[in-house]
C-alpha cells in the first residue's frame, strides 16, 4: 500500500540535537552546551514577561512593530529593513525557503552553523559545504564553490562552533565575488562579544547592496534563548519577501515584551560583555595550560581539541565532565569528533570545568 512520502531531501535531515540540558547521574548540572549567556537575562526583561503574562489571551503584535522600533533605536537602523523571527533559526528557514528550492544550492563553510545545511535540505535545495583552512572560513574556497545554481551563501561571523571570524576585508571580498542575484547572509549571532578592530557584523555591506542580510539573535548576549527571538536586517526587497512567507504571528508576545525591555537595559548588556571579556581569555589560557588544544575564540564559547585515540579522547572527556555535573557539547555532528565545545560560564562553573578537566587528564 502506498504511504505519504515527504519531499526529496527531507529524509536526509538528521533532526537537530540541541545541547543536553542536564547531566545524567549528577546531583546538579552546569550546562555549558548551548553558548548561552553565563549571567542570564536582564531583570527588566523578566519583569516585562511577568507584566505581559496577564494578556496571554491576546494575539501578539503581528509585525513585531514595537520590538522593531526598539531594535531600530538601539542599533540606529532603518525600521523598514527589519523583520523579527522566532529565533534566528526561523529566519534562516524562511530565507532559505523563499530563495532556494529543488535544483538550487545553498553554500556555507564546512564547520558552519548546522541550521544552514538543515534549512537547505528542508526546502529541497542542495547543501554545499566549502572547505575551511585551520577551522576558519576560507573566502577563496567559498567563491570557488559558487555555481550558477547557488542562491544563498551563509556565513556565521564569528562562527559557531569554531569561534573564529573573518575580517571586514575578507567579508567584503566574499561579497564582491558573488553574483548580484546570490544572497550573502551574515549570521552575526555573537557580534556583541567581538572587539577586534578588523571585525564587522556586515552592516556597511547591507547599506550598499541589495543582496546582503544580517541575522541577529536574542539568545546569546541577551540571554533569552528560551523565548525564541531573533531579527534580520536587509534590503527592503528581501524584507518584503520574508514578510510574505512568515506566519502572521510568528513572534510570541512574551518574547516581544522581553526583547524590548532587554534592549533598554544597557547596563545588563555591558555586564554580560564584561563577564565574557574577563573569562574568555582566562579559560583559554587555563585549558591550554592543561595541554589541550584550545581554538582561539572571539565569542562566548571555546572549542577544545582532545587526542584522537587513547584514554583522553573528547568522548571520554565529555563522559568524565558529565559525571562531575558539567554538560559540554559533543562535536561529531559538526564533523569535529575530537572536540568538545564549552560555553563560558559563571565564575564557579568555569572553575569547576578546569578542576574536572585537570582530574580527567590525571586519571
Residues in contact with ligand PLP by CB under 6 A are 35, 87-89, 113, 156, 160, 187, 189, 217, 219, 225, 230
Q: Which of residues 109 and 356 has its CB atom nearest to ligand PLP in the complex?
A: 109
- Least separation in angstroms between residue 255's CB and ligand PLP is 10
Q: Whose Cβ is closer to ligand PLP: residue 170's or residue 187's?
A: 187
Residues with Cβ within 8 Å of residue 178, at least 6 apart in sequence: 143, 146, 153, 184, 211
Minimum CB distance to ligand PLP smaller for 139 or for 286: 139
Q: Which residue has the cell 547572509?
A: 185
Q: What is the DSSP string of 178-242?
A: S-TTSEEEEE-TTGGG---TT---SHHHHHH-SSEEEEEESSSTT--GGG--EEEE--HHHHHHH
Distance in Å, CB of 309 to ligand PLP, minimum: 29
Smaller CB separation from ligand PLP, 87 or 325: 87
- 136: closest CA among 106, 114, 157, 107? 157
The residue behind cell 505581559 is: 52
| Buried-state track 34-67, b at ≥16 Cβ within 10 A, e below 16 | bbbbbbebbebbeebbeebeeeeeeebbebbeeb
69: exposed, middle or buried (C-beta count within 10 Å: 0-12, 13-18, 19+)?
Answer: middle
Q: How far is the CB of 187 from ligand PLP (least distance, A)?
A: 5
CB of 14 to ligand PLP, least distance (A): 17
**In the complex, what is the shortest distance from the CB of residue 178 to ligand PLP, in angstroms, rounded to a whole number?**
20
In the bound state with ligand PLP, the residue whose beta carbon lies nearer, of 119 and 150, is: 119
Amino acid at each position: 500500500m502506498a504511504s505519504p512520502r515527504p519531499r526529496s531531501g527531507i529524509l536526509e535531515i538528521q533532526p537537530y540535537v540541541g545541547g543536553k540540558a542536564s547531566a545524567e547521574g549528577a546531583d546538579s548540572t552546569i550546562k555549558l552546551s548551548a553558548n548561552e549567556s553565563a549571567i542570564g537575562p536582564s531583570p527588566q526583561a523578566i519583569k516585562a514577561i511577568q507584566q505581559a503574562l496577564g494578556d496571554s489571551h491576546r494575539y501578539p503584535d503581528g509585525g513585531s512593530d514595537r520590538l522593531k522600533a526598539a531594535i531600530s533605536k538601539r542599533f540606529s537602523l532603518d525600521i523598514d529593513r527589519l523583520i523579527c523571527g522566532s529565533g534566528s533559526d526561523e529566519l534562516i528557514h524562511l530565507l532559505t525557503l523563499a530563495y532556494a528550492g529543488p535544483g538550487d544550492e545553498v553554500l556555507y563553510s564546512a564547520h558552519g552553523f548546522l541550521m544552514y545545511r538543515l534549512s537547505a535540505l528542508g526546502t529541497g535545495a542542495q547543501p554545499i559545504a566549502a572547505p575551511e583552512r585551520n577551522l576558519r572560513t576560507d573566502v577563496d574556497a567559498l567563491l570557488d564553490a559558487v555555481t550558477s545554481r547557488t542562491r544563498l551563501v551563509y556565513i556565521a561571523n564569528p562562527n559557531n562552533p569554531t569561534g573564529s571570524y573573518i575580517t571586514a576585508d575578507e567579508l567584503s571580498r566574499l561579497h564582491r565575488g558573488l553574483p548580484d542575484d546570490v544572497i550573502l547572509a551574515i549570521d552575526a549571532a555573537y557580534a556583541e562579544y567581538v572587539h577586534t578592530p578588523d571585525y564587522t557584523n556586515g552592516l556597511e555591506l547591507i547599506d550598499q547592496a541589495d543582496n546582503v542580510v544580517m541575522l541577529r539573535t536574542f539568545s546569546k548576549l541577551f540571554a533569552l534563548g528560551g523565548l525564541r527571538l531573533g531579527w534580520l536586517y536587509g534590503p527592503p526587497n528581501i524584507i518584503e519577501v520574508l514578510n510574505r512567507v512568515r506566519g502572521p504571528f510568528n513572534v510570541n508576545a512574551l518574547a516581544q515584551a522581553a526583547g524590548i525591555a532587554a534592549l533598554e537595559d544597557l547596563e545588563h548588556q555591558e555586564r554580560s560583555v564584561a563577564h565574557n571579556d574577563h573569562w574568555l581569555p582566562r579559560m583559554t589560557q587555563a585549558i591550554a595550560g592543561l595541554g589541550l588544544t584550545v581554538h582561539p575564540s572571539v565569542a562566548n564559547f571555546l572549542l577544545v581539541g582532545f587526542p584522537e585515540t587513547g584514554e583522553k579522547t573528547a568522548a571520554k572527556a565529555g563522559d568524565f565532565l558529565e559525571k562531575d555535573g558539567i554538560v559540554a557539547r559533543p562535536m561529531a555532528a559538526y564533523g569535529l569528533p575530537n572536540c568538545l565545545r564549552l560555553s563560558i560560564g559563571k565564575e564557579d562553573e568555569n572553575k569547576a570545568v578546569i578542576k574536572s578537566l585537570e582530574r580527567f587528564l590525571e586519571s
